[in-house]
Structure 1
Amino acid sequence: MSDLFPPTQLLYSVPFSLSLVALYLGLIILVAERLKRYYSSNSELTRKVVHIGTGNVILLAWWLKIPAWIGIGAAIIAAIIALISYFVPILPSINSVGRKSLGTFFYALSIGVLVGWFWPIEQYQYAAIGILVMAFGDGFAAIIGQRFGQHPYTVLGSQKSWEGSLTMVGISFIVTGLILASVYGNLGIIWLIAAIVSLNATTLESFSTLGLDNLTVPIGSAAVAFFLCQWWIS
């Protein structure tokens, strides 16, 4: 069994690892703020830059083997900041999308839940699947849907597009398959698991409102991938 980031002795100190993560997140927010300045009419674009870019933090945490308590603590702090920003616009590039949503709060919360679940059992790949399906799948689905969506549909009062939903299916499939292949090898069964995860993620995203998909999609995707791999691979 291979691993995208195989177990090694700790090569980096905790302060260095945290500094690297903080630097990365700072750059993401800086890029988003710059984009907001030049594309002030499209606040959704800047929010999705943060949404997609922030998701990669889970790969940094996996690579650096950051301890679970640090990941959970950082997620709690991020959730508190996001909750404050919901009421006070301290992070306009994240929240100014012309609608009230607790999505950023749920996003941070989902990272904490997944780190708390999979870090202690050293099954980092499932946390990565959950977060990256949300980051890339939902992120690009929103961008494609907004730009090219010509076939809308409505679920629970929320408007979606078939173009966006199909984008989420495709990207979620690729993300899940590549992560599982990096760990288990290129087994045929992993692509079936990836297909099930991607369809489940898209369904959860379609039926979630008020930003709740930022919680249901990561946890739902990680859980489905984990249990299917336990049944069919382990």
Structure 2
Amino acid sequence: MLLLSLFSGLELIPPFGLQLASVAVWLSLVMLTAWGVSRFAQADSEIVRKIVHIGTGNVILLAWWLHIPAIAGITASILASAVTLLSYSFPILPGINSVGRLSFGTFFYSMSIGVLVAWFWYLQQPHYAALGILIMSWGDGLAALVGQRFGKHKYYLFGGQKSWEGSLTMAIVSFLICSLILMSVQGNSWQVWAISVVVALAATGLETISFVGIDNLTVPLGSAALAFVLTKFISG
């Protein structure tokens, strides 16, 4: 996360064309990696989906570090949301949306990015948007993979099946992301660690009670909002 600290402190803003090119290159690498894993490693569709899920979320770091304008992120979110809605009726994104159950996760994923960019770019505190999106992408993504591969201890809530291994992964990853991002901006303090514990538990709870993919909306928005409010409350 050292690079995160360095980039977040830079005042030089790259040209808009370079900003968009950086995002396009990263997304291309993510899609190429997903295609390669699917084509040559013969990985199942869930792994490919999570590569896209996690990799796409990291775009928020580029948006933060490169000072990409809010309008660009909001516009991209609206377009992506529209495409994903259409994909539920037409085979536009079959590999991403085919999860074997009713889910609007891809749509909520796109929507959450736009909402957080609009919110925290306006407040000039984009790190909270990054915090929420990365908890969703890395926390939820790794929790699903660990739960499916190694989840031996199952529990059921609101008709959904979860595993304690997956939930523990969600909590740990959420804590690490929250603490690292807050430390990069606020420095190392007991307040950062305390906030990170609360946010990690809340994010895990939101992921646990999710249905039809709504955790892709509640987890990032809830995590970012909670971290923001707790920081303001503790700092007075």
Whether TM exceeds 0.5 here: the answer is: yes
Return the match for 1:9 from 7, 12, 16.
12
Q: Is 1:92 matched with 2:80?
A: no
Cα distance in 1, alignment partners of residues 189 and 166 from structure 2? 29
Out of 173-182 and 94-103, give the one that drifted further.
Answer: 94-103
Q: Distance in 1 between matches of 2:212 and 2:91?
A: 18
Aligned to 2:207: 205
Rounded Cα–Cα distance in structure 1 between residues aligned with 2:218 and 2:41:
30
1:128 is aligned to 2:161: no
Question: Residues of 1 paired with 2:88 and 2:42: CA distance?
Answer: 19
Instruction: Please give the residue correspondences for 1:94-173 in structure 2 after superposition, counting only pairs within 5 Å.
Output: 94-173=96-175
Which one of 167, 172, 195 corresponds to residue 193 of structure 1? 195
1:73 is matched with: 75
- Aligned residue for 1:119, secondary structure, equals helix
CA 1:164–1:111 in structure 2 vs 1: closer, same or farther (change >3 Å)?
Answer: same
Deviation at 1:116, TM superposition (A): 0.4
Q: C-alpha distance in 1, partners of 2:68/2:94?
A: 29
Q: Which residue of 2 aligns with 1:179?
A: 181
Contact 1:129–1:175 at 8 Å: present in 2 too?
yes
Partner residue in 1 for 2:29: 27
In the alignment, the residues of structure 2 paired with residue 7 and residue 196 of structure 1 have an alpha-carbon distance, to the nearest angstrom, of 30
Q: CA deviation at 1:96?
A: 2.3
- Structure 2 portions without partners, runs of 5+: none
CA distance in 2, matches of 1:90, 1:36: 18
Stretch of structure 1 that moved more, 41-50 or 114-123: 41-50
- The 8 Å contact of residues 54 and 137 in structure 2, kept in 1 or not, is answered as yes
CA contact under 8 A between 1:36 and 1:93: conserved in structure 2?
no
CA distance in 2, matches of 1:93, 1:21: 22
Q: Give the Cα–Cα distance (whole angstroms) in 2 for the partners of residues 30 and 83 of structure 1.
A: 24
TM-score (normalised: structure 1) = 0.95
Q: Which runs of 5+ in 1 are unaligned?
A: none
- What do you get for the CA RMSD once the two structures are aligned? 1.6
Q: For 1:103, give the aligned amino acid.
A: G
Give the CA deviation at 1:39. 5.5
Deviation digits for residues 114-136 of structure 1 (CA, Å, limit 9, x no counterpart): 00000011101110110000111
Task: Give 2:114's aligned amino acid.
Answer: G
Look up the equivalent residue of 2:29 and give its one-letter code.
L
Identity %: 55
> Do the aligned residues in 1 keep the contact of 2:37 with 2:43 (CA within 8 Å)?
no
> Cα–Cα, structure 1 residues 161 and 203, in superposed 2: closer, same or farther, change >3 Å?
same
Q: Which deviates more, 37-46 or 50-59?
A: 37-46
Query: Counterpart of 1:9 in structure 2: which amino acid?
Result: L
Q: Determine if contact 1:169/1:199 at 8 Å carries over to the other structure.
A: yes
